[in-house]
Amino acid sequence: MRLDYLTIFPDYLAPLRLSLPGKAVESGLLDLHVHDLRQWTRDRHHTTDDTPYGGGAGMVMKPEPFGEAFDELLGPVPEEVAQQPSRRATVVFTTPSGEPMTQRLAEELATRERIVFACGRYEGIDQRVIDHAREIAEVREISLGDYVLNGGEVAALAITEAVVRLLPGFMGNAASIVEESHSESGLLEHPVYTKPREWRGREVPEVLLSGDHGRIAAWRHDQSVRRTAERRPDLLAPSVLDDGGEIVRAVPADAAELLVLQRACWAQEALANDSLAIPALHESYDDVRTALAEWDTYVVRRAGRLVAAVRGRLDGTAWDIGRMMVAPDLQGTGLGRRLLAHIQAVAPAGASSYVLFTGVRSERNIRLYKRAGFRPRVELPAPPGAIVLTKPRRG
Ligand code: 97T
């Protein structure tokens, strides 16, 4: 992986040479380049900022130095790379108005070959720099959180550390990676203790000394839930607090119940279609958790119970809709219709059509989809025993 940093304070990024990324450079896993943005200025004072058009306080970073830096580091983009989005470099703008940095985003960035960090200062960077970058690279605007820093350098450092420690061959410690999947449960970690057993009159909780692994696991889980409810109720909200029948975004903590509902719903499909060769029926808990990270998934709860779900993901210009499920006792109550309308409504701007499939003998599903304007497309390839339905997106 190659990482470049554009900054007017290159010294701020010196820690990259120490600590974790430093070791990855030594092992050849990482290629790091810190650039002083002023090398791409042409005036005597090496100016990188100017006053904002339209007035207002503060200074805005000028477009030209970033433009020339991109030309040198990224351009010209060969035609075949421009056509293949997955081969483009990623440009990360650190900004308080970006998408929040998360472990999921770190995992995504860890798959990239090339990331250029553009560190903004002052009130931000001229918008045309970001618009231009979108034409030559994948652009991500990322925020560390809802607070203000003096500039993007510290944010770029934090993002780098979160990404680099995920690179294959970097940690060399399988146990800590297993540990990590714990945090994907959507709960905060439980408290931890080490020797001595008693310190300044404080004892280690007795259960941890009991040697009873079942009790220890139950205690830790309980501590995790309490901590999460206390410090991060937002992580529990959709799964525990929301039961008003609203359609809400799924969280990792929904995975286990989603799996149960999915098995129930697709067992019904297996019977209707006289086939067990249905992927949704065979997925494991891990498969469902992975899918939650890769799809936009929505769920509905009633009285705390997870009763319905649907997911969507962009495939080229098609909004791929799937895993539409409604608990057996609530089928025929209009929930499916609502979910289908919702998942179409949240499709991103790049979607020009909707596509889904269902069992050729799943008559109720097919009726629901037809009523919503989907048309069966027998000429399109579908999994065995399934039929594809599509609908153009209007507006
Ligand atoms: O506050 C900032 C100023 C410039 C660049 C980034 C930030 C920031 O990033 N995450 C939170 C704040």
Residue from 125, 144, 146, 147 whose mutation best tests the ligand 1 pocket (most atoms within 8 A of CB) = 144
Give the DSSP letter of residue 101: P
Confidence (pLDDT) at 176: 55
Cβ of 120 less than 6 Å from ligand 1 = yes
Residue type for position 103: Q
Cβ of 48 less than 6 Å from ligand 1 = no
Rounded Cα distance between 182 and 75, Å, is: 41
Contact 170, 28 (CB under 8 A): no
How much distance in Å is there from the Cα of 92 to the middle of ligand 1?
12
Contact 306, 339 (CB under 8 A): no
Atom number of ligand 1 nearest to Cα 119: 5
Q: Could you give the C-alpha distances from 375 to 283, 357, 371, in angstroms and in order?
A: 28, 11, 9
**Torsion from C-alpha of 366, 371, 377, 383, nearest 10 degrees:** -30
How much distance in Å is there from the Cα of 32 to the middle of ligand 1?
22
Residue from 99, 105, 129, 143 whose mutation best tests the ligand 1 pocket (most atoms within 8 A of CB) = 143
Confidence (pLDDT) at 179: 46
Residue from 149, 150, 157, 159 whose mutation best tests the ligand 1 pocket (most atoms within 8 A of CB) = 149
Confidence (pLDDT) at 235: 78
* Nearest alpha-carbon partner for 160 in 265, 17, 11: 17
Atom number of ligand 1 nearest to Cα 149: 1
Cβ of 154 less than 6 Å from ligand 1 = no
Residue from 5, 7, 13, 95 whose mutation best tests the ligand 1 pocket (most atoms within 8 A of CB) = 95
Give the pLDDT confidence of 215-224 residue by residue, as tens digits.
888 788 778 8
Residue type for position 62: K
Cβ of 124 less than 6 Å from ligand 1 = no
Cβ of 65 less than 6 Å from ligand 1 = no
DSSP secondary structure letters along 150-164: SBSHHHHHHHHHHHH
Contact 297, 311 (CB under 8 A): yes
Buried b (16+ CB within 10 A) or exposed e, 111-150: ebebbbbbbbbbebbbeebbebbeebbbbbbbbbeeeeee
Cβ of 144 less than 6 Å from ligand 1 = yes
Q: Is the dihedral of CA 161, 166, 167, 170 positive or negative?
A: positive
Buried b (16+ CB within 10 A) or exposed e, 26-44: eeeebebebbbbeebbeee
Atom number of ligand 1 nearest to Cα 144: 10
How much distance in Å is there from the Cα of 302 to the middle of ligand 1?
39
Cβ of 152 less than 6 Å from ligand 1 = yes
Atom number of ligand 1 nearest to Cα 148: 1
Residue from 94, 105, 146 whose mutation best tests the ligand 1 pocket (most atoms within 8 A of CB) = 94
Confidence (pLDDT) at 237: 53
Range list of β-strands (E), the chain: 2-7, 31-36, 49-50, 60-61, 90-100, 114-119, 138-143, 198-199, 202-203, 244-249, 296-302, 305-315, 318-326, 353-359, 375-376, 386-392
* Token digits of residue 104: 């999921």
Confidence (pLDDT) at 182: 45
Pairing, β 31-36 against β 2-7: parallel
Rounded Cα distance between 287 and 214, Å, is: 25
Contact 29, 169 (CB under 8 A): yes
Confidence (pLDDT) at 187: 82
Cβ of 7 less than 6 Å from ligand 1 = no
Give the pLDDT confidence of 163-183 residue by residue, as tens digits.
999 998 876 544 455 445 445
Atom number of ligand 1 nearest to Cα 152: 5
Confidence (pLDDT) at 127: 97
Nearest CA to ligand 1 atom 12: 96
User: Could you tell me how many residues make up the chain?
Assistant: 395
* Nearest alpha-carbon partner for 341 in 373, 386, 377, 295: 373
Confidence (pLDDT) at 394: 83
How much distance in Å is there from the Cα of 384 to the middle of ligand 1?
50
Q: Collapsing DSSP states into helix, strand and coil, what is residue 115?
A: strand
How much distance in Å is there from the Cα of 158 to the middle of ligand 1?
11
Rounded Cα distance between 236 and 189, Å, is: 14
The pLDDT profile of the chain, 395 residues, written as one tens digit per residue, is 999 999 999 999 999 888 667 677 788 889 999 999 999 999 999 999 999 999 999 999 999 999 999 999 998 878 877 777 778 999 999 999 999 999 989 999 999 999 999 999 878 999 999 999 999 999 999 999 999 999 999 999 999 999 999 998 876 544 455 445 445 567 899 999 999 999 999 999 999 999 998 888 878 877 887 898 889 888 775 544 455 688 999 999 899 999 999 999 999 889 988 889 888 999 999 999 999 999 999 999 987 889 999 999 999 999 999 999 999 999 988 899 999 999 999 999 899 999 999 999 999 999 999 999 999 999 999 998 999 999 999 86
